[in-house]
Amino acid sequence: MKAQTNLQAILAKGEFAVTCAYAPPCGTDIAMILENAAQLKGKVHAVTVNDNPAARVRMSSWALSKILLDAGVEPILEMVTRDRNRIALQSDLLGASALGIENVVCLAGDHPASGDHPEAKKVFDLDAVQWIAAIGQIRDQGCLMNGKKISGKPNFFVGAVANPFVESLELHMIHLQKKIAAGAQFIQTLPVLEMERFSLWLSEVRGRALADRCPIIAGVLALKSVEIAEYVRNRMRGITIPDAVIDRLGAVPEDQQQEEGINIFIESIEALRRTEGVRGVHIVAIGWEEKLPELIERADLLPRADSS
């Protein structure tokens, strides 16, 4: 039996998983990263390292994943198919495994036109489903997509992303089923701020027995101001922020919006923990990563002795 990652073991034991997102810096200075990693150690089961999020150039996700791993924090390597063909994807994956990085989450990624290099050519040689299946083949059969055998025995725990707030729920469910059939072992959702719509999505997931096959980790967004909330809603594809949240943040003075954002975050966590079929939370604090340890503590997600 292959060894399990910490995240994989937590989910296998039926414990409530806590992960968070971390955007790599646009540069090479890692002093703040190391400081934040020291504060996060023991407070999360794993940290998802974004891969050039929003199609904007950042430090490579595998490099930051290695930095976090060396600091004692288990990473989840995000790999988008937007920027690499199958040769580069497989090469980076093998390199990550050799460095001790085993959690991987697969997605297509935003179109380059939405990022800071809109003239960049998109690749999309593989879609997320094909990439999930390829990683499973490398892990389980020990061979690349072309059938060539590899040395060593990598152990990958493979995740995928789901958006509960799409317009066509039926088409989304078909695509989600394909991801799970291809080998996705856990699902991270985009942030949940509309519990009613999320509950409808989760009801469909559970009705198709998908949650039994693949643990659902629900995204939770921490917003520090109405300005950030409006930016996310207008500029970040796929994230839905209802008017009620914007209005609630805007109803308090500017110097109180951070605290109100934390209150909304805590309420979301409490609602998700009561929701059958939710196996964990994935915390997203855009531009607010230094606040993650406090957010986790105030949401009563501590202690967890088994955290990395």
Report residue 136 as tokens.
């499973």
- For residue range 5-23, list pLDDT tens digits in order: 999 999 999 999 999 999 9
Structural domain count of the chain:
1
Domain of residue 177, CATH code: 3.20.20.220
Task: Say if CB 50 and CB 78 are below 8 A apart.
Answer: yes
Band (pLDDT 50/70/90 cuts) for residue 1 is very low
In which residue are the tokens 């924090």 written?
A: 73
Alpha-carbon separation of residue 241 from 68, 236, 266 (angstroms):
30, 10, 16
pLDDT at 192: 95
d(CA 301, CA 299) in angstroms, rounded, equals 6
Domain contains 305: no
d(CA 55, CA 253) in angstroms, rounded, equals 33
Host domain of residue 250: 6-298
- For residue range 291-304, list pLDDT tens digits in order: 999 999 999 997 55
Alpha-carbon separation of residue 96 from 84, 99, 162, 272 (angstroms):
15, 5, 24, 32
Task: Say if CB 18 and CB 301 are below 8 A apart.
Answer: yes
Domain contains 184: yes
Domain contains 240: yes
Domain contains 304: no
- For residue range 69-83, list pLDDT tens digits in order: 999 999 999 999 999
The model's pTM: 0.94
pLDDT at 114: 87
- For residue range 104-162, list pLDDT tens digits in order: 999 999 899 888 999 999 999 999 999 999 999 999 999 999 999 999 999 999 999 99
